[in-house]
Amino acid sequence: MSQNKLLIDVGSTYFKVCANNQVEQYFRDFNKDIYDDLLSKCSETISKFKKEEVFICSSANGGLTTLIIGITNSFSLKFATNIAYNSGINIINTVLYQDIQTSSIPSDLIDVVIVVGGINSVNNVFDEKLFNYLENLRFSNIVFAGSSFDADYLKNNIQNLVVVENIINNKLHVVEEPLKNYLTNLYQADIEGKEDIKHLYDLTSNQIFSTPYIVNKTLPFIDSKFAVVNPFILIDIGGATTDIHYSKDLSSDNMVTQNEYDRLVFKKLGVFKSKESLIFAAKNNEFVYELLAHLKVTENIFNEDSPKSLRILMQLAIFLVLYKVSEAHPLYIKLKLNLLKSIVLTGGITKVLSFEESEDIISFFYKKILNSDIHPSIILDSNYDIWTLGITQQ
């Protein structure tokens, strides 16, 4: 990393600042504006850098929420979901077009609706059913990334529709960049509209990206700082969600993309904002009581509010995430965990769990679920270095 760059990650709980390869973190003061709080803690460091030398990513605005409408689960919905996740977008729902008339309509305001479907040699993919659904949906932006033959028809019937290149080419491969660029630019526009965050552009002349997007950009360079062996997964356990970034060769998915890595988001497996849903998922897992016994606690730990209970929740989050991408669980993408060489842990978990506690839960998973006494190597990103590798790789 060049020493003439200042890297700043604005999270929902902490600021992380990296200068001269040294990362420092500061607990945010929620009584202050983000810009004022950052300057009060780091003004001396920030003053040493020019605006073009300052690179910022942020998850403090909560990210963008999206709803995706697609023609097929195997192509349009799958491809669009993949692009959205890798752009750092939060997907709140997907709608299969053939079921749109019976699909529930979210009551919350959606930041962006993505409509996809059909290759460019196909037309008349969409009809009045789409317009009727959208009339009852509250959203701020809408983008069409489907068959070019339907673009004019949709533009004439959907106000403020943005059209980008189809995400599916005629060889049924994924065209990622047009939709990804639209989503990352929309994220920037969202930041500029948030009073709390837009002042950060007083510090930098570079685009502010979402932190999950930056982490995904980091993965090709991760072995420059960590002893990571491919194929690997990176698990980022936070307060509201848990993200998995994984090597594509761990998936049997036949999706052809330019990215070597994909991202999967578990919206209900965080340890603070979604703590109750994490506990609910744990209680409904068939291995939970055996797991709690292994950790030498009882179900009463769920009613506690203590450092010990937080550590248990972190361990449960690791177990449940691995479980949900394993052969044991049919609802999520299946990863070939038996081929896994490395597991990287980052996020708030690294400040709570020791290496031994992390290894203990991963070892339990491999023995119980995969019937293996051997588990992948474990790397703790205890200094939050991961994001610093990708933030300047634009």
Q: Say which CATH number the domain at 82 has.
A: 3.40.50.10870
Of the ranges 165-169, 210-214, 252-256, 313-317, the best mean pLDDT one: 165-169
Examine the fold and report which residue of 154, 176, 207 is the final residue of a domain before the chain moves on: 207
What is the rounded average pLDDT of the residues 295-317? 87
On whether the CB atoms of residues 242 and 62 are closer than 8 A, the answer is no
Domain count of the fold of the chain: 3
Query: Is the domain of 154 the same as that of 200?
Result: no
Q: Which of 59-73, 146-160, 178-192, 233-247 has the lowest mean pLDDT?
A: 233-247
Q: What is the C-alpha to C-alpha distance for residues 20 and 22, in angstroms, rounded to an integer?
A: 5
Q: Would you place residue 241 in the very low, low, confident or very high pLDDT band (cuts 50, 70, 90)?
A: low
Instruction: Say what the pLDDT of residue 259 is.
Output: 61
What is the reported pTM? 0.73
In a domain, 376, yes or no: yes
391 neighbors 209 (Cβ within 8 angstroms): yes
**Does residue 24 share a domain with residue 70?**
no
Same domain, 244 and 218: yes
Are residues 227 and 164 located together in one domain of the fold?
no
The β-bridge relationship of strands 6-10 and 14-19 is: antiparallel
- DSSP secondary-structure letter at 316? H
* 377 pLDDT higher than 60: yes
- Is the Cα torsion angle 94, 100, 101, 102 positive or negative in sign? negative
For residue 266, pLDDT over 70 is answered with: no
Q: What is the pLDDT of the chain when averaged over all its residues?
A: 84
Residues 294 and 366 occupy one common structural domain: yes
Same domain, 239 and 303: yes
CATH of the domain at 299: 3.30.420
Domain membership flag for residue 1: no
Evaluate whether residue 335 is within a structural domain.
yes
State the Cα–Cα distance between residues 262 and 78, nearest whole angstrom.
12
Residues 167 and 199 in one domain: no
Residue 180: domain span: 65-185
Which residue from 75, 247, 241, 253 is spatially nearest to 174, judged by alpha carbons?
Answer: 75
Q: Is the dihedral of CA 123, 127, 131, 136 positive or negative?
A: negative
Distance (Å, whole) CA 360 – CA 291: 11
| Closest-CA residue to 77 (of 168, 177, 189) | 168
**Are residues 376 and 274 part of one domain?**
yes
Q: What is the DSSP letter of 109?
A: P
Question: Are residues 226 and 98 both part of a single domain?
Answer: no
22-45 pLDDT tens trace:
888 888 888 888 899 999 999 999
